[in-house]
Structure 1
Amino acid sequence: MTRRAAVLALIGSVAACGFTPVYGPQGGGTALVNAIDLPEPSDDSQYVFNRRFEERMGRGGGAAPYRLTTRIQIDDQDIGATSAGSVTRVRLIGRVFFTLTDTATGEVVRDARTNAFTGYSTTGATVATSAAQRDAQERLMILLADQVIDDLVLHVSNVPTAGSTP
């Protein structure tokens, strides 16, 4: 069997099994694009989370059919130290508890949580350590926003596309 025949056979078998691309015409991802309203950010972490969410899913605005509420929790953990006891590395552990609600009915469509971690070095100057901490927090919020989006797209496949009737 040639490579081309193998690829065509694979594509045919995937299509036959009922596979629907998540961002395809009938996919769950398409229904949520520009359809989710986010709360106003209350701090830098929420701002970065919202920015990343809107980069990938668009801005739903106040008239969006769904509302996403989030509670972000960040803990830090010292994971490296010198023999003198100075901290050399910090791990940031982030959790997002989120609820997607249908704004018309008030029905909870998805209620879940996700978590991720990242770290930064504290061995530089104070300014360098502060910059590394801000960068790590931004990376953590991007990771968490991506995970929330992935969760919603994978688990919320039965929502109608914005503007359509169920």
Structure 2
Amino acid sequence: MTSAIAMALLLGLPSCGFTPVYGENSASSEVLRNVVLEDPDNQIEYDYLKAVEQRIPPSQNTQYKVRYNVALSYQGLDVVGVSRVQVVGTVTSEFVDQTTQKVELVSSVEGFTSYTADGGFRDVQRRDAERRLMQILADKFITRLIAQSSELGAIPE
């Protein structure tokens, strides 16, 4: 009985106007194809750019250029006698229409991760935590972009 109800609901989705977020004709896929991030200024921004480009490959002739700023802070934690450092990151993005040079949308995402500050590989552990954080922030950026895609308006053909 339950599977029959689920099947009926699934068959009814196309008639209700449901479009998958990543579907070829969705508004978000159109926006994702028309966004390019500016070149990075440092290693952290480079890691962030590469994490975003793993999810949305760079394209030519885009409508929007994204200016972004990555800010990191480090907070010491003492958990049961183990020294840990929490890395907190914020990415603030401005979506600039490349035709009008007008900022169309400002967005911000935050995330955190941590690493153990003990041992002889502190720099390696810190860099690994920073790379993981850039992956987290890239995922949140894409999710936020999809959620706000309608705010960027129609993309001209």
Q: TM-score range by the shorter chain?
A: 0.7 to 0.9
Aligned match of 1:78 in 76, 79, 86? Answer: 76
Report the equivalent of 1:20: 19
Identity %: 28
Distance 1:81 1:154, change over 3 A: closer
- Quote the offset at 1:29 in angstroms: 2.7
Structure 2 residue aligned with 1:49 = 48
Equivalent residue for 2:109? 114
Question: Partners in 2 of 1:129 and 1:78 — Cα distance?
Answer: 13
* CA distance in structure 2 between the partners assigned to 1:2 and 1:113 by the alignment: 41
Q: Is the 8 A contact 1:89 1:122 kept in 2?
A: yes
Structure 2 partner of 1:147: 140
| CA distance in structure 1 between the partners assigned to 2:147 and 2:110 by the alignment | 17
Pair 1:81–1:10, CA change in 2 (3 A): closer
For normalisation by structure 2, the TM-score amounts to 0.87
Structure 2 counterpart of 1:94: 89
| 1:9 to 1:81, Cα distance in 2 relative to 1, 3 A | closer
- Letter of the aligned partner of 2:77 in structure 1? I
- The secondary structure found in structure 2 opposite 1:33 is helix
Contact preservation (8 Å) 1:72, 1:94: yes
Whole-Å separation in 2 of the counterparts to 1:80 and 1:17: 53
Number of residue pairs the alignment of both structures matches: 156
Return the TM-score normalized by structure 1: 0.83
- In 2 relative to 1, CA 34–26 (structure 1 residues): closer, same or farther, beyond 3 Å? closer
> How far does the alpha carbon of each residue in 1:67-86 deviate from its partner, in whole angstroms, 9 at most, with x for none?
01101110000011787xxx
What amino acid is aligned across from residue 79 of structure 1 in structure 2?
A: L
Which amino acid in 2 is paired with 1:139?
R
Match of 1:37 in 2: 36
Alpha carbons of structure 1 residues 159 and 25: separation in structure 2 relative to 1, 3 Å: farther
RMSD of the alignment, in Å? 2.2
1:16 positional shift? 4.2
Structure 1: where are the runs of 5+ without partners? none
Deviation of 1:149 after TM superposition, in Å, equals: 1.0
* Distance of 1:100 and 1:150 partners within structure 2: 15
User: Contact 1:74 / 1:93 at 8 angstroms: preserved in 2?
Assistant: yes
What CA distance in whole angstroms lies between the structure 1 residues aligned with 2:2 and 2:149? 39
Q: For structure 2, list consecutive stretches of 5 or more residues without a partner in the other structure.
A: none
